[in-house]
Amino acid sequence: MTALEGVKVICVGQFYFAPYCSMLMARLGADVIKVEALNGEPYRRSPAVDKDGESIQFRFVNSGKRTMRLDLKKPEGQDVLRRLAGQADVLVQNLAPGAMDRFGLGYDSLREVNPRLIMASGTGFGSFGPYAGEPAMDLTIQARTAVMSTTGFEDGVPVRTGPSVVDFMAGTHLVAGVLAALYQRSSTGRGQHVEVSLQDAVLPALTSNIAGYLNSSGPSPERTGNRHGGMSVAPYNAYEAADGWVTLLCPTDAHWGRLCGLMDEPDAKDPRFDGVAGRCAEMDEVDEIVGRWTRTHTKESLAAILKDANIPCAPVVTLPELLDDPHVRARGVLRTVTDEQGAFETLGSPLFLSDSPIVEPTRPGKLGEHTDSVLRGELGMSEEEISALREAAVI
């Protein structure tokens, strides 16, 4: 059986935060119903589409879910969601701050109809604190949380990270909270409200940067480029190769000793470089020595040489190289799935459980595709009741 077999999840969310959280639960076997506004969530209208005109972003985090349209601004729509929550195990949401409460669908209201319900709320800044209730997106959290001020080079402008690290880190934290709440419910019989904020989820990733700042005796650069965020490891950088770039680092003296043996660079034997602190004090010179050596090799040959010497390293790959990477394909987190409509790309799962198979992703439903079947199957509504909701523009 799958890990979450029999678990019913409602996702009232858009973009990446809540949808990724509920997608992970779908891969673990939960039955996930995605609730969208009548015109669908914004990522359905993304210009990044495949050959069939389907949004790639939407599909990546929503495949494997049933989909329904519901107008939560209308009392009838609120009643439908309340009834669905009455049968659900988990409700995941990342609507605008306060929206669920304004709809009469906050946790205090929903637990009255289902004391076992676990409500998972993804927020920008949480439910308390000076910024509570402020809207937020990945970019604005990166700005507010020093991610941008610590990304890029010292003499450059602040830079956002390439990937949407905040949304996906927060989604992962949120699913961890949900799984913990499900485990606790098995003992107490009670659900609870799980809250994860985007800001809180990204703060732990700044550990090295904060440590470097607190340990500095004077001004220290916030943006360290490709160097260690705390400026406490050297060499630690991306170095030019004959055909691209390679990353390598020497966290210990033993690693540095093995690297010196490979490089055969007389300058590397300078006693100033004996010890991590000494190398960190002379980072520019250390990087110059290492760079002279790496420029004489291709990035793949460097990766092989350094791997054999047990020195942490990796070639800097491009997106096309990543998508063709045999290890990435073997792991199946990025995967090609074939169905009756043909092949499509989507996300698998980064979670591997030895006794719980991962559910193979399927295409996400078309906008509102499963509305009628959900209302019939989950709530036992008649065709007349469904028609009345449609005529009232609730579904």
Cα–Cα dist 320/279, whole Å: 35
Residue 102 and residue 186 in one domain: yes
Residue 155 is a catalytic residue: no
Report helix, strand and coil shares of the chain as percent, to nearest 5. Answer: 45, 15, 40
Q: Nearest 10 degrees: CA dihedral of 141, 145, 150, 151?
A: -10
Q: Would 214 be classed as within a structural domain?
A: no
pLDDT band at 215 (very low <50, low <70, confident <90, very high): confident
* pLDDT for residue 325: 95
Q: What tens digit of pLDDT does each residue of 335-361 get?
A: 899 999 999 999 999 999 999 998 999
Look at residue 220 in the predicted model and tell me its pLDDT.
64
Give the distance, in angstroms, between the CA of residue 212 and the centroid of all CA atoms in the same chain. Answer: 26
**What is the model's pLDDT at position 51?**
86
Tell whether 121 and 198 lie within a shared domain.
Answer: yes
Domain count, the chain: 2
Residue 109 in any domain: the answer is: yes
Return the pLDDT at 218.
64
The residue annotated as part of the active site, out of 138, 167, 200, 287, is 167
The residue from 272, 291, 316 where one domain ends is 316
In this structure, are 91 and 145 located in the same domain?
yes
What is the reported pLDDT for 219? 65
- Summarised one tens digit per residue, pLDDT across range 219-229 is 666 889 999 99
The whole-number average pLDDT for the span 201-206 is 96
Domain boundary among 295, 316, 337: 316
pTM, rounded to two decimals: 0.93
Q: Which helix (H) or strand (E) holds 330?
A: helix 326-331
Domain that holds residue 272: 233-316
Contact 149, 223 (CB under 8 A): yes
- The pLDDT confidence band at residue 111, using thresholds 50, 70 and 90, is very high
Query: Of 271, 297, 316, which marks where a domain is finished?
Result: 316
Question: Residue 349 to residues 28, 105, 357: CA-CA distances in angstroms?
Answer: 8, 30, 11
Rounded CA separation 156/137 (Å): 23
CA angle 36, 132, 192 (to 5 degrees): 65
The answer to whether position 311 is within a domain reads yes
Q: The tokens of 66 are what?
A: 């049933």
Of 317, 313, 303, 206, residue with least CA distance to 250: 313
CA distance linking residue 46 with residue 44, whole number of Å: 6
- 209 found inside a domain: no
Question: What CATH number corresponds to the domain at position 347?
Answer: 3.40.50.10540
The CATH number that applies at residue 238 is 3.30.1540.10
Q: What percent of the chain has pLDDT over 90?
A: 92
